[in-house]
Structure 1
Amino acid sequence: MELSLQKILNEIHLIQDSLANKDSSNSNKNKTSQELLHKKLDDAE
């Protein structure tokens, strides 16, 4: 369970990184959503 969750998280990071590379103005928004996602996952544990 934990391993698959980590894989999903890594995929999200890769997607967000590629989106940020295409449009650098979104990088701050993407970083914020990543931080929120990590916080939610930490709270879920």
Structure 2
Amino acid sequence: MANSSPVYDWFNERLEIQDIVDDISSKYVPPHVNIFYCLGGIT
């Protein structure tokens, strides 16, 4: 990631945050979905 902060780089180096963000952001979410629908999968 260009021009990222040193703190972000430190966390990303250890936790691979960017890989997780890329995986989550590549998923399709239907337009009718609200926050409760999303949190239902956690319970």
TM-score normalised by the shorter chain: which range applies?
A: 0.3 to 0.5
User: TM-score, normalization: structure 1?
Assistant: 0.35
User: TM-score, normalization: structure 2?
Assistant: 0.36
Higher relative CO (Cα under 8 Å, sequence separation at least 6) belongs to 1
| Bigger helix fraction | 1
Select the structure of larger CA radius of gyration. Answer: 2
